[in-house]
Structure 1
Amino acid sequence: RLGLEASGWETIWANQWEPSTKTQHAAECYEKRFGGGTLVNEDINQIVERIGDDGPGPIPDHDLLVGGFPCQDYSVAKVRSQAHGIVGKKGVLWWAIHRILETKRPSFVFLENVDRLLKSPTAQRGRDFAIILACLSDLGYIVEWRVANAADYGFPQRRRRVFLVAHHVGDGSEPKWRGPISWMAEDGALARGLPGDGPSPSQFNPPDIKLQGDLAEITEGFGLGNLMTPFLSAGVMWRREVWTTAIRSVYSGPRKVLRDVLQPAKEIPESFFIPEAQVERWTYLKGSKNVPRIAKNGHEYLYSEGGIAFPDPIDQPSRTILTGEGGVTPSRFKHVIDAGDGRLRRLTPLELERLNGFPDGWTETGMPDGRRAFMMGNALVVGLVERVGRTLANSL
């Protein structure tokens, strides 16, 4: 919301629900910062069950639907007793999004996910993304996607995500279709908001993929036997025809690094410094390993992993913030920096907020520091959202 409202959008309805926790920290933070009136703190799957085919339902009409959703099983099954004959798995967030789009048909859709979405599941590489593309095509959308690393556009965190933008065809908001090359290089919202070294003509004739069959048939057959996903880091789909290519970001503006978000030493609470007695454990977890292990079935194998820089360099963008960033327990994935006085320390919640572009103290609403870190591990880089939001706002 911060990035979209900075680019000219107005939020009229929002949903946030944490099914695994009694205290709804994210919803409380949202209402603390934005005020009440727009947020519904309820399971979205229950909300969409109240949407009728003809009535207005609980969700208002809107121009842009925005959402982030976890990698889940998007497969569908044919069920003769169902009116449409095809149903998705209950509780999978994508199908709640699909139900909203089915009844509201907003001009734009803006979705985000980890880039693993392009290649899941392991047994059918790319199947889940193919289902999403087919769904959107059948609802009348042109779809573009792009994998973007925030650090490539000057932000102080290396955070790779796949962004998907869909334009509803026929309502006058979508750019004129001049073919996949023009859409990928110039016309699409992602081409303008997250520019890259556009595709060459030879890469897009004919389409790389044709999504054939109903959703159940795609579930059963797409990607069988594939060792790699057919979906590359960027692409466009129209009328179930897909063109895809690898694109590198193009950016020549100012760049920030981890050092730029650090607080002065005098502001760091003592609890964020690593006790000398724990340094050896941290060093082991961060280092490379070749450890013999025995599986439950008795099979012996060698577990290997490469090392992670320890401490983290502050003259580069940080690594990706993960949801387990908080807490004092030694971890391979938490950030640790040289405090400059011979000691090592973890990053504070405020520094994590800065890495994502949030205002200082945004999550300081009474939740524990560990939950504040968790929120930033789930968040997007605000400035990256703003770049895409601005291109969409200019399309209206």
Structure 2
Amino acid sequence: MTEYSQYIDGLLKPKVQEPAVVLDLFAGCGGLSLGFEAVGFRTIGFEMVDEAVDTYNRNLKGKCYNQFLEVGFNYPEEENIDIIIGGPPCQPFSRFGNQKGMEDARDGFPIFIDAVRRLQPKVFLFENVANILGRHKWYLDLIVQELQNLGYIVEYKVLNAVDYGVPQRRERLICVGHRASFHFPAIEREKRTVAEAIGDTMLSPEPESKILTSRQDEYIAVYEKKSHCVNPRDLYPDRPARTITCRNLAGATSDMQRVRLADGRRRRLTYREAARLQTFPDWFEFSGTETKQFYQIGNAVPPLLAYKIAQQVKNTYYLEQKSEEYILQRNIPNSLFAI
């Protein structure tokens, strides 16, 4: 283990102690939920992928349900759900997909908005690809307007995980709704590196099955020449990693995540190395085949980034609580609070 991985292992252990419950829609394997449990919230997750549900339930204190969500779905009424979070599937907006946006059957935003409308949480948060600010900006504007119409102040910003202690350059749009005040986490000056995360394993040739063949090396060389790469796209120990994705982990593509060994050979990452670069603790166990594990890791929000955001959401949640107490004490109609 590296000193950094030991730090992550301790920091991100669930410490459930808050009365509020966090509802995580499209929860995946629990990267976002893990950050919220590490700051004290209990979570309830909903996810369709069997292996991701099993991973969530093996590692988090909360419960994840293997359930297809739709508009009008009946969420647990007995739970004290005060916060809703989630990552509506990003494929409709990703620059690597067909970019069908709201015409894509996987668009989860109507479900997310419906949940906010019916449960009226004190705070909500969703994340998505930064590319939604491009050709789909009109749709983001529509989403924001719908949420504002429910009485929330809605703010969004593109955050790069590398600015918050994650050893990886990864941009995501974070959108938060509240009725009090919210501050995005402050950018950190120190940038974590690949060596800090996987320096204890990255120069090991094991497992041999991941060593690139000469044919793969030739294929990568052609790709890098055509794309005018100044430097080979290997992982460099003194820099943060490139964005971890399902595609560049699970597939033996020209853009695959790889390390260069001392003898000049290159190999693909193990799932454990990929998990560390995403800031999953070493104790976090993934279910399914290696490919399924790679997909869970690549789709996840880095738990450390989630933790930093969750700290700010927690502050907002308590501001909401104080505002409601003030209204009750002054006997001010609740309608005045719903701005």
Relative to the length of structure 1, the TM-score reads 0.64
Is 1:345 paired with 2:267? yes
Task: Identify which of 293, 300, 310 aligns with 1:379.
Answer: 300
Aligned to 1:216: none
User: Following the alignment from structure 2 to structure 1, what is the Cα–Cα distance between the partners of residues 259 and 104?
Assistant: 43
Task: Identify which of 161, 165, 188 aligns with 1:251.
Answer: 188
Aligned to 1:129: 140
5+ residue gaps in structure 1? 19-23, 76-87, 176-187, 196-249, 290-304
Structure possessing the higher relative contact order (Cα contacts under 8 Å, 6 or more residues apart): 2
5+ residue gaps in structure 2? 1-32, 93-99, 319-339
Aligned to 1:107: 122
User: Following the alignment from structure 1 to structure 2, what is the Cα–Cα distance between the partners of residues 308 and 28?
Assistant: 42
Q: Do the aligned partners of residues 15 and 63 (structure 1) sit closer, same or farther apart at CA in structure 2, a change above 3 Å counting?
A: same
Whether contact under 8 Å (2:34, 2:60) holds in the other structure is no
Task: Identify which of 216, 237, 240 aligns with 1:317.
Answer: 240
Kindly state the Cα deviation for residue 104 of structure 1 after the two structures are TM-superposed. 0.8
Aligned to 1:281: 219
Q: Aligned runs of 1:1-396 on 2, under 5 Å?
A: 1-11=33-43, 13-18=44-49, 24-34=50-60, 38-45=63-70, 48-51=71-74, 60-71=79-90, 72=92, 92-121=107-136, 126-167=137-178, 169=179, 174-175=180-181, 188-190=182-184, 193=185, 195=186, 250-252=187-189, 254-262=190-198, 263-264=200-201, 265-266=203-204, 268-285=206-223, 287-289=224-226, 305-307=227-229, 309-310=231-232, 311-327=234-250, 329=252, 331-360=253-282, 362-365=284-287, 367-395=288-316, 396=318
The residue type paired with residue 350 of structure 1 is: R
User: Following the alignment from structure 1 to structure 2, what is the Cα–Cα distance between the partners of residues 386 and 163?
Assistant: 13
Cα deviation digits, residues 282-308 of structure 1 (max 9, x gap): 2222x132xxxxxxxxxxxxxxx4427
* Farther-moved stretch of structure 1 (317-326 vs 306-315): 306-315
Q: What is the percentage of aligned positions where both structures have the same residue?
A: 26
Q: Which has the higher helix share?
A: 2
Cα deviation digits, residues 28-54 of structure 1 (max 9, x gap): 21122236x721101111xx4344xxx
Whether contact under 8 Å (1:334, 1:346) holds in the other structure is yes
User: Following the alignment from structure 2 to structure 1, what is the Cα–Cα distance between the partners of residues 173 and 212?
Assistant: 35
Cα deviation digits, residues 247-298 of structure 1 (max 9, x gap): xxx423x43111222243457211121123432122222x132xxxxxxxxx
User: Following the alignment from structure 2 to structure 1, what is the Cα–Cα distance between the partners of residues 135 and 175?
Assistant: 16
User: Following the alignment from structure 2 to structure 1, what is the Cα–Cα distance between the partners of residues 156 and 108?
Assistant: 19
Aligned residue pairs: how many?
A: 274
User: Following the alignment from structure 1 to structure 2, what is the Cα–Cα distance between the partners of residues 322 and 70?
Assistant: 14
Relative to the length of structure 2, the TM-score reads 0.74
Taking only aligned residues, the RMSD between alpha carbons, in angstroms, comes to 2.4
Whether contact under 8 Å (2:158, 2:174) holds in the other structure is yes
Whether contact under 8 Å (2:167, 2:191) holds in the other structure is yes
Kindly state the Cα deviation for residue 61 of structure 1 after the two structures are TM-superposed. 4.5
Aligned to 2:3: none
User: Following the alignment from structure 1 to structure 2, what is the Cα–Cα distance between the partners of residues 9 and 57?
Assistant: 17
